Chain A
Amino acid sequence: MKSNYSIVIAGGGIVGCAVARELSKYSNLSVTLLEREDDVCSGTSKANNSHIVCGADLNPDCPLELDMIRRSNRMWEQLTEELDVEYVRCGSYNVAVTDDEFNNMLPKLVKKAESCGVFTTRIIGREELLKNEPNVNPDAKGALFVPEDGSLLSYYLVLALAENAAQNGVKFRFESEVTNLDFNADAGEWDVEINGSEIIKADFVINSAGLYSDKVSKMAGWDDFEITPRKGEFWVLDKKYSHLVNSIVYGVPKPDYRGTTVVRTRDGNLMVGPTARNLRDREEKGTTASGLEEGFEAGKQVFPWLDKSMTIHQYAGLRAMCKTNEDYILGWHADSNIPFINAAAIRSTGITGGPGISQYIAELLSERIDLVKNPDFNPYRKAIKRFETASYEEREALIAGNPDYGEIVCRCQTVTKAEIVQAIHNPLCVVSLDAIKRRTKSQMGRCHGGFCTPRIVKIIAEETGMSPLEIKKKIKGSELLADETKNAGRDSDAYTVKSSVSEVLSSLSKNSGGR
């Protein structure tokens, strides 16, 4: 009988990274996470509105989802403190703008919350709503207040989970797509094929491949469901308007989705969205003119002063939906001889459900194998110290300790060189412009990288020895720059003055074609 087990996690979104961190608490597990993109949190998990739900508006007929989210709801304070991720239980509002909504819809929402096991919601009148959200639609009659709801930045949470998992021994492999799974029953082992070539062995495979989880599941012989994408589109507003909204404000929900919301993120940006449109193509990741329009108009129902001139950015995300199954597809393969766990069809509640799912999956594993606690597990992970939010005294101390903190690289978000350099040397060893963006908040302000991108390219080149031509926005094939501008080439030691101007001039060759 074995006592040490190797585990492969397919997919580095919220679920994969939460599971990786949870399993790193056990010393007899050797965990490898495979991700097809160049970084964790590169799919559905990065594109959401940072609303952490407590479960008040879930479908009571989805017991797994409800269970996972109620588990997570008990974990947030401790988890975010351990991982140094800013989180606040700011509450959320469903604003009623008509009497019908106020008198008929809101009481139904309270009942629904109660059937989901949430008993803290309450209907508030116009006065209390305006006290908390003074800039809401003046027609508002009142709102449903959900005090247990909270807010955090999803990519900060996923990165923190992944970094903490890496600190505790989980191996992360990027640009590594699972292309085949083959279970050898005699040896009791999986052959996990990566990118159509390399094979690694695993005792257990956990599928957290999000939009592609049906494909991975099929490879393991579990093929009775299909994932379809549902697109959500978002607008991001300039930080200078952040004071206009304090928390998370929705209209009343639509029959099939929670509706469009306006959220003040932990970054201080206001975010409007998402929409919900069912698609067939999982690669169709762009925003659309009509989708953006629809989302913005919905936002204006709640905050009529919203104006497109306030916006700095738009993006779209794809939720992993399953037509045949409303609940999560979460659990062991039906054939108990096959050591495979699915965490699929997580839809739009992955960020909220992730921590609960990771706890649940550890419990599933413990049904089959003994899990040995790792005495050296370190639950704490430190975020990069930010200059922007530091006090005056802290700033002076930061610069005294590291002069790079005195050099502002991203002016819109006040990100210093010190933060960029720390992000380049991140625990997951991912170097790309988007990776640095998500780790520092640079390039995501009002000029959207116009000012800082050339500077960050330079810092990456200095820190890593990469040529600027090798620096990518994200995955391979997304190189930022096409070529050098001249023929002569620019050797890195070109900085020593080799000859005088006249010497160079006299050696000029005048007929150098090539164009």
Chain B
Amino acid sequence: MNKKLTCITCPAGCDIEVAEKDGEYIFKGARCGEGEKYALKEMTCPERVICTSVNIKSREFPLVSVRTSCPVPRGEIFSILNQLLDVSVSAPVRRGDVIVSNISSNNADIIATRTILN
């Protein structure tokens, strides 16, 4: 059975066709190697970077933006978001600070993406 994917690695958004032959995937349409890597991942265990925010005690902002330090399994998105609902940090927070460590099955951290000093 053939499947069509759109690569999300970069804005080019290549359409990749996936065929399965003898238990192996064959990919057509990716304009670079990253596309094939993406397609293989998407067929076996799709992953996404999660970007959201958590509460911060700060004079400037109620929220600090965060993301996973690397792509995490797509199926874990909502359990990770749930874990972050009650998280609250206090300023100062710097870009790259680990807010929650080891949050996903592939050991991603939640890191701050904005510096809030006060």
Chain A residues packing against B (C-beta within 8 Å): 485-488, 490, 494-501, 504-505, 508-515
Contacts and interface: CB of A to CB of B under 8 A. Distances in A.
B24 interface: no
Contacts of B98: 505
Contacts of B85: 486-488, 512, 514-515
Nearest to A486: B55
Report the interface size class on chain B.
20 to 34
A490 B62 contact: yes
20 contacts: A485-B53, A486-B53, A486-B63, A486-B86, A487-B85, A490-B55, A490-B62, A497-B90, A498-B57, A500-B90, A501-B90, A501-B92, A501-B97, A504-B87, A508-B86, A508-B87, A512-B83, A512-B85, A514-B85, A515-B81
Contact of B90 (A490, A504, A513, A514): A504
Contacts of A504: 87-90
A510 B54 contact: no
A514 B79 CA distance: 11
B15 to A, nearest CB: 33
Given A486-B54, A508-B100, A499 B90 contact: yes
Nearest to A515: B82
Interchain residue pairs A-B with the least CB separation, the first 3: A487-B85, A512-B86, A488-B55
B69 to A, nearest CB: 15
Contacts of A495: 57-59
A497 B82 contact: no
A461 to B, nearest CB: 12
A18 to B, nearest CB: 45
A178 B81 CA distance: 49
B87 A496 contact: no
Contacts of A497: 57-58, 90-91
Contacts of B97: 501
A498 B83 contact: no
Contact of A510 (B58, B59, B78, B83): B83
Nearest to B98: A505
Interface string B46-70: 0000000111011100110000000
B111 interface: no
B82 A514 contact: yes
Contact of B100 (A498, A505, A515): A505
A394 to B, nearest CB: 33
B82 to A, nearest CB: 5
B92 to A, nearest CB: 8
B7 to A, nearest CB: 30
B82 A512 contact: yes
Contacts of B30: none
Contacts of B59: 495
B93 interface: yes
A509 B86 contact: yes
> Counting chain A CB atoms within 10 Å of each CB, which of B83, B88, B91, B92 scores highest?
B88
A261 to B, nearest CB: 48
Nearest to A501: B89
Contacts of B16: none
Interface string B24-62: 000000000000000000000000000001110111001
Nearest to B100: A508
Nearest to A494: B57
Contacts of A513: 82
B99 interface: yes
A501 B55 CA distance: 12
A107 B62 CA distance: 68
A73 to B, nearest CB: 55
A332 B88 CA distance: 66
Contacts of B89: 501, 504-505
A328 B82 CA distance: 63
A490 B62 CA distance: 7
A509 B86 CA distance: 8
A487 B86 contact: yes
A204 B65 CA distance: 61
A496 B88 CA distance: 13
Contacts of A515: 78, 81-82, 85
A510 to B, nearest CB: 5
Contacts of A485: 53, 63
Contacts of B100: 505, 508, 510
Given A486-B53, A495-B57, A501-B97, 15 more contacts: A486-B55, A488-B86, A488-B87, A488-B88, A490-B62, A496-B57, A504-B87, A504-B90, A505-B99, A505-B100, A511-B83, A512-B82, A513-B82, A515-B81, A515-B82
A487 B91 CA distance: 19
A498 B88 CA distance: 11
Contacts of A505: 89, 98-100
A351 to B, nearest CB: 44
Contacts of A512: 82-83, 85-86
A486 B83 CA distance: 11
B61 to A, nearest CB: 10
Contacts of B90: 497-501, 504
B78 A494 contact: no
A510 B91 CA distance: 21
A378 B78 CA distance: 63
Contacts of A487: 85-86
Contacts of A500: 90
A505 B86 CA distance: 11
Nearest to B93: A501
Nearest to B99: A505
Nearest to A514: B85
